[in-house]
Amino acid sequence: MRTRQLAVVATVAVAVYLVLLAGRAVELLRSGEPVAVALGVGVLVLPLLGAWMLVATWRSGLAVQRLSRRLEAEGGLPDTSDLPRRPSGRVDREAADAWFELRRAEVEKAPDDWRAWYRLAYAYDIAGDRKRARGVMRKAVELEAAESESAR
């Protein structure tokens, strides 16, 4: 199953859960009992928060996919196929660190280039630092959006 199809299935499952949870919240609110109403208000916050998280996650994913397609069309996608790998398939730590340093130097040379930031995010990812990878990818998305806006 393709990644996007899996994401759609997971999103539908979460959305169904959120609708059911919202239904329970409404039942609690309709009960009229003060404790149940207070609990209903608290439970109603969860589906709202969940819906916001779903939308934010999809927006982010689509933005990253847009950058990936653009970079692929330009022939600039990062290639780690020649890096040594562990038996698990993950890139060897020392090789990942060395590849990371090259990407960091690239960003230092061109701090306003979203392509360099994209590759740095990828370097963080193969080094195992997913939190920083997401933050750096957000920077790449922002820079690409600014570049696209100024081109108009």
Mean pLDDT computed over every residue of the chain: 91
pTM: 0.79
Q: Does domain 93-151 have CATH number 1.25.40?
A: yes
Q: How far is CA 56 from the centre of its chain?
A: 9
CA distances from 109 to 47, 102, 115 (A): 44, 11, 12
Residue/partner pairs of 86-90 with CB below 8 Å, 24 or more apart: 90/126, 90/128
The string of pLDDT tens digits covering residues 26-85 is 999 999 899 999 999 999 999 999 999 999 999 999 999 999 999 999 998 888 888 888
Measure the CA–CA gap between 119 and 139, rounded to whole angstroms: 11
Identity of the residue numbered 35: V
Tell me: the pLDDT tens digits for 39-54?
999 999 999 999 999 9
The fraction of the chain above a pLDDT of 70, given in percent, is 99
Give 109's contacts (C-beta < 8 A, 6+ positions apart). 116
